[in-house]
Amino acid sequence: MIRSGRIPVGDHLSTQKLADQFGVSRSPVREAMQVLADQQVLEQHANRGFFVRPLPEIPGRADDLVELPDEADEYQRLADDWLVDRIPGEVTELFLRDRYRLTKTQLTDLLMRAVREGWAEPKPGYGWRFLPVAKTPEAFEQIYRFRMLIEPAAMLEPGFRGDRQVLAEQRRIQEAMLASDIATLPAERLLHNGSLFHEELIKLSGNPFFHRALLQVNQMRRLLEYRARVDRQRLRVQCTEHLEILERLEQGDMAEASYLMRRHLGGALARKSPVVLAASLEPAAASE
């Protein structure tokens, strides 16, 4: 993930987030980060944790690094097949392994990720079931309408605190995207950065129910976004709006920040209405 740019240089690694992402406990994650620190891939700061360093040159390995497979490809293919009904709602692991030519370990990783993102579950005893969450543009619109209610409201909570460190980190990410990352990072990483911005801000409300609700709907909407084209030019507008919200929060103007958040999400809803979003999916469906 570091070599592909999905975790950029300078990022602070969260043990818990990585444990959740890979479906393991925190202990092996901490051990892995220590190994990577010993290999000069990560840098450990006292009382702050691990940060990504610029990768060292590896003589004679450049071609190998280019050929490393991107595991996200098969995951997106699985999601795409489910979205357009190329696979049934209930399947066996043997069916999936044969269809995607995966090892048992690779398939387990893909299915666990689908479980974490809220659109798959193991059947009692045998097989897997795919869930119809956020499978339609209409459901996608409902998610955005829900977000327009909770995200601006979270900023008006009495317990909302504008944590300077959190705001500074989000400002760094958004400014880096405007500077170069929008043009260079994989689409999946760009979507992650957008979700992270909203998830980190809603946590500042001090109300864990806001945060849990947003995490759940973000997991659901990713399924449909895997098939939509990523408009990198539009991402520049999105980052600019994110920075405007951050500026108001840094000034302590929660009311204005709340207004800007609602306007920001309203604009996203207008762009991702059922008609617009369905049109953005047509090329992927037509290619079959």
Residue pLDDT, tens place only, 148-177: 999 999 999 999 999 999 999 999 999 999
Shared fold status for 15-66 and 70-130: yes
From 1.10.3470, 2.30.30, 3.40.50, 1.10.10, which CATH number describes the 15-66 domain?
1.10.10
Length of the chain: 288
Q: What is the mean pLDDT of residues 48-57?
A: 81
Asked whether the beta carbons of 12 and 48 are under 8 A apart, the reply is yes
Mean pLDDT of the chain: 82
CA pair distance 144, 278, nearest whole angstrom: 15
As given in the structure block, the two tokens for residue 153 are 């409201």
At residue 276, does pLDDT exceed 60?
Answer: no
**Domain residue extents for the chain:** 15-66, 70-130, 137-286
Higher pLDDT, 184 or 230: 184
Confidence at 246, pLDDT banded by 50, 70, 90 = very high
In this predicted structure, what is the pLDDT of residue 23?
Answer: 67
Tokens of 72: 């996200």
Q: How confident is the model at residue 280 (pLDDT cuts 50, 70, 90)?
A: very low
Return the CATH class of domain 70-130: mainly alpha
For residue 65, pLDDT over 50 is answered with no
Amino acid sitting at position 242? H
CATH architecture, domain 137-286: Up-down Bundle (1.20)
- For residue 42, give both structure tokens: 């990560």
pTM beyond 0.85: the answer is no
Residue 6 near residue 189, CB atoms below 8 Å: yes
For residue 126, the model assigns a pLDDT of: 86
**What residues have CB less than 8 Å from 91, skipping those under 6 apart?**
127, 128, 130
Query: Is the model more confident about 73 or about 241?
Result: 241
Residues above pLDDT 70, as percent of the chain: 83
Residue 145 CB neighbour total at 10 angstroms = 11
Largest Cα span, the chain: 57
The secondary structure element, H or E, covering residue 128 is strand 128-130
